[in-house]
Amino acid sequence: MATTHNPSRRAWRTAVLGGMASYMDAATIVGTGTALVLYKQQLGLTPWMIGAASSILTLGLAVGALLGGRLGDLLGRRRVFTYDLVVFLAGLALLAFAANPWMIFVGVGVTGLAMGADIPTSLALVAEEAPKDRRARLVAFSQVLWSCGGLAAYLIGFLVSGLGATGARIIYLHVLVVAAVVLVLRQRLRESEEWVRERDRQRQTPADPSISRGDSLRRLASGPLLAAVIGLGLFYAIGNLVANTFGQFQTFLFTEVAGAEVSTATLVGLLAYPLGFITVLIFMKFVDGPARMPLYTLGVLIMAAGAAIPLIVGVNTVTLIILKFCITIGAGFAGEVIFKVWAQEFFPTLIRGTAQGIAIAFTRFVAAGFALVTPAIADSSPRALMGVLLSAVLIAAVIGWAWIFPMRRRALAAEQAAPAEQATPAGPAAAPEEATR
């Protein structure tokens, strides 16, 4: 009996501890959005400095994803996500005890670098340890934890919104404690069996200069794998602008643009996140079946409606609240969660982390550039910002339906048509290796 249930329990344990990367990612991004406003007076932060700090955080996430994804493929998932949490703790300590602006800038850079490295590595481990018929569900579970991280950040931000810099320190100490606990618990996780198996197979295969190695970057430079990287990168980078803008600048938009209090901004986030939590749970239930794309379409329509309302009516506290609720619900079907699922389905094991890292890094670079100017755009023309967000939702939707979905369907057809003995990471059916749903 134990033999039957242990694999399932192990897969869920891995999903929880690996998925905590998403919890910490959300808690850091959302928490920083509130913390920088709370630090504003004591540390003398200007709107441009707030924008710069948010941009540095996002740049760190980009570089970290690029390096961490590659190192996870070369050295193993477990080793990378152990060391990156140690670096993450150091960055959080700088932020929690910041006494001047340079500590903020260095802290967000180090924190972003470490968390960026953790995300593609942890997601790959979750996917590789999950049963194939529940792989998408367990990967999607990371988004439930993302919602929990954002919810916790908003709750703490709401409770400490009147404490100034002390409140900002409490926000970062919360993430620091969580990261320390996760670091200890992750020591019990084993290395990905799928990664070990493919690495050993590669080592036992005689070198052939005419064939790319299983972990070779050349495999991502042509054919369907290149198309998958580009498509997923564009989808995630453009679609993520909406969630990233509200994740980093919700407090700024409510206080500086709409004239509301910090407590109002955090309360709205606090009320919205349970809806996102429920939405992702619904998505988890159906993600492995044919309802995935209809739910994706529903999510796009909800987000588009949310962005259109302040664009048409004007940006104020009420329309920002509506937009926040629409983003939270719609993203549970059509946001980061579906990128995470797709990213596990298109790539062979030994370059899965690398491919994800490239797509995530590109997304973060785009977000960092936009974050640098977001406060200035919001200050000069709030409706222009809403127009950009609505355009991002619609463009990402077209990429998902017209590019990624047909590509995935062709990959599934190719896998089903290929003889079983050819469907290996080194064979012609390697590209859709994990596209089983």
Note the pLDDT tens digit of each residue in 73-94: 888 888 888 889 999 999 999 9
The predicted structure's pLDDT at residue 183: 93
Alpha-carbon Rg for the chain in angstroms: 21
Cβ burial of 417 (10 Å; 0-12, 13-18, 19+) is exposed
Question: Residue 243 and residue 322: Cα distance in Å, rounded?
Answer: 14
The string of DSSP letters for 186-235 reads: HTTPPPPHHHHHHHHHHHHSPP-TTS--TT-GGGGSSHHHHHHHHHHHHH
The two structure tokens encoding residue 60: 């760190």
- Alpha carbon of 85 to those of 173, 231, 345: distances in Å? 15, 30, 26
DSSP state of 133: G
Which pLDDT band, with edges at 50, 70 and 90, does 415 fall under? low
The predicted structure's pLDDT at residue 207: 58
- In this prediction, residues 4-25 reach a mean pLDDT of 82
- In this prediction, residues 275-296 reach a mean pLDDT of 88
For 336-360, b where at least 16 C-beta lie within 10 A, e where not — what string? Answer: bbbbbbbbbbbbbbbbbbbbbbbbb
The predicted structure's pLDDT at residue 36: 87
Collapsing DSSP states into helix, strand and coil, what is residue 251? helix
Given a contact cutoff of 8 angstroms between Cβ atoms, the answer to whether 25 and 81 are in contact is: no
Judged against a pLDDT cut of 60, whether residue 4 lies above it is answered with no
- What are the extents of the domains in the chain? 12-184+218-422
Angle at 137 between CA 136 and CA 139, to 5 degrees: 65
Given a contact cutoff of 8 angstroms between Cβ atoms, the answer to whether 337 and 320 are in contact is: no
**Token match 């996760």: residue?**
182
Given a contact cutoff of 8 angstroms between Cβ atoms, the answer to whether 313 and 88 are in contact is: no
Which pLDDT band, with edges at 50, 70 and 90, does 215 fall under? low
| Cα–Cα nearest to 19, from 153, 129, 150, 122 | 122
Question: Residue 123 and residue 357: Cα distance in Å, rounded?
Answer: 11
Share of the chain above pLDDT 90, in %: 32
The predicted structure's pLDDT at residue 418: 58
- pTM for this prediction: 0.81
- Alpha carbon of 298 to those of 71, 85, 305, 399: distances in Å? 37, 36, 11, 15
Given a contact cutoff of 8 angstroms between Cβ atoms, the answer to whether 145 and 92 are in contact is: no
| Cα–Cα nearest to 254, from 168, 375, 171, 335 | 375
Given a contact cutoff of 8 angstroms between Cβ atoms, the answer to whether 57 and 271 are in contact is: no
Q: Which residue has the higher pLDDT, 10 or 111?
A: 111
Which pLDDT band, with edges at 50, 70 and 90, does 419 fall under? very low
Provide the terminal-to-terminal Cα distance of the chain, rounded to the nearest Å. 28
DSSP count for the chain of H helices, then E strands: 15, 0
Which residue type is seen at 172? Y
Question: Residue 173 and residue 50: Cα distance in Å, rounded?
Answer: 20
Each residue of 156-208: pLDDT tens digit?
A: 888 887 888 898 999 999 999 999 999 999 988 888 888 888 888 877 766 55
The predicted structure's pLDDT at residue 301: 95
Each residue of 109-157: pLDDT tens digit?
A: 999 999 999 999 998 899 888 887 788 888 988 888 888 888 888 788 8
Question: Residue 26 and residue 9: Cα distance in Å, rounded?
Answer: 25
For 137-161, b where at least 16 C-beta lie within 10 A, e where not — what string? Answer: bbbbbbbbbbbbbbbbbbbbbbebb
| Cα–Cα nearest to 219, from 434, 409, 428 | 428
CATH topology of domain 12-184+218-422: Growth Hormone; Chain: A; (1.20.1250)
The two structure tokens encoding residue 409: 């369907």
344: Cβ contacts below 8 Å, ≥ 6 apart: 123, 124, 127, 135, 136, 139, 352, 434
Each residue of 286-306: pLDDT tens digit?
A: 988 888 899 999 999 999 999
65: left (phi over 0), alpha (psi -120 to 50) or beta: alpha
